[in-house]
């Protein structure tokens, strides 16, 4: 298995973690306000204390598994784009690894919050969870700036060097732009949803670029 195939599988994994996260969010967490600025903190803590295993699985999939797959994808895209645009490719690799680090850190903090909430009395659990959840959101659960910058840079580089198909780049620019817009608090919820859905489509498109025989661009070893 070469880096081309590995990158395609990593992109599929990233899409799968996002899809799993959306499904879990819509079916179980949406009534609690998860993923929005209107979260019911007491209800969220109670749900977490009653379902620690479920929440750890959720955090592990959307953060930790995603981050590990994302690290592979960052390197695969760097290898793909390096030939035509070596300087820009190095820049995108740096932004990508920043995002990987933040996503992984968010998952570790989120799982620690679950573990502590499960053993603390209710009042203490609410206070600690609120603090750790704020840290988690700061790392990336509540904004998508790092991911938006990386996807935007990848697509601009792929467009410039003809290493990715133009429709894939256009889709990525839409998703990446939405991620950057999460910087604006008033637009954060809507922009975050657009980023998440756009990123799923973009990850799937990148997977096709890597795995489809008629793929666009040079093939890394």
User: What local confidence, expressed as pLDDT, does residue 214 receive?
Assistant: 61
Q: Rounded mean pLDDT of 22-37?
A: 82
Is position 57 within any domain? yes
Is position 13 within any domain? yes
Choose among 161, 144, 148, 6: nearest CA to 89. Answer: 161
pLDDT in tens, 93-105: 999 999 999 999 9
Is position 218 within any domain? no
User: Is the pLDDT reported for residue 219 higher than 50?
Assistant: no
Per-residue confidence at 213, pLDDT binned at 50, 70, 90? low
Is position 153 within any domain? yes
Contact present, 89 and 74 (Cβ < 8 Å): no
Residue 9 and residue 6: Cα distance in Å, rounded? 5
- Domain containing 117 equals 3-211
Burial 5-15 (b: 16+ CB within 10 A, else e): ebbbbbbbbbb
Is position 220 within any domain? no
Is position 219 within any domain? no
Q: What is the 3-state secondary structure (H, E, C) of the chain?
A: CCHHHHHHHHHHHHHHHHHHHHHHHHHHHHHHCCCCCCCCHHHHHHHHHHCHHHHHHHHHHHHHHHHHHHHHHHHHHHHHHCCCCHHHHHHHHHHHHHHHHHHHHHHHHHHHHHHHHCCCCHHHHHHHHHHHHHHHHHHHHCCCHHHHHHHHHHHHHHHHHCCCCHHHHHHHHHHHHHHHHCCCHHHHHHHHHHHHHHHHHHHHHHHHHHHCCCCCCCCCC
Q: Which residues contact 85 (CB under 8 A, 6 or more apart)?
A: 157, 160, 161, 163
Instruction: Report the number of distinct structural domains present in the chain.
Output: 1
User: What local confidence, expressed as pLDDT, does residue 220 receive?
Assistant: 45
Prediction pTM value: 0.90
Q: Rounded mean pLDDT of 23-43?
A: 83
Is position 221 within any domain? no
Is position 158 within any domain? yes
Other C-beta atoms closer than 10 Å to the C-beta of 184 total 11
Per-residue confidence at 154, pLDDT binned at 50, 70, 90? very high
């Amino acid at each position: 298995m070469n880096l081309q195939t590995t990158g395609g599988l990593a992109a599929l994994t990233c899409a799968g973690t996002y899809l799993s996260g959306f499904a879990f969010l819509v079916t179980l967490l949406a009534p609690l306000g998860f993923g929005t600025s209107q979260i019911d903190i007491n209800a969220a803590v109670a749900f977490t204390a009653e379902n620690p295993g479920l929440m750890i699985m959720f955090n592990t999939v959307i953060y930790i598994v995603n981050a590990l797959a994302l690290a592979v994808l960052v390197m695969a895209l760097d290898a793909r784009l390096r030939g035509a645009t070596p300087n820009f490719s190095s820049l995108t690799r740096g932004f990508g690894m920043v995002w990987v680090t933040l996503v992984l850190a968010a998952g570790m903090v989120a799982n620690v919050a679950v573990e502590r909430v499960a053993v603390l009395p209710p009042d203490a659990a609410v206070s600690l969870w609120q603090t750790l959840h704020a840290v988690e959101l700061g790392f990336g659960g509540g904004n998508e700036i790092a991911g938006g910058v990386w996807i935007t840079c990848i697509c601009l580089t792929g467009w410039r060097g003809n290493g990715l198909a133009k429709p894939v780049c256009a889709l990525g620019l839409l998703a990446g732009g939405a991620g950057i817009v999460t910087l604006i608090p008033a637009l954060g919820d809507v922009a975050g949803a657009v980023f998440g859905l756009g990123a799923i489509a973009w990850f799937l498109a990148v997977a096709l670029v890597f795995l489809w025989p008629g793929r666009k661009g040079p093939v890394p070893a």
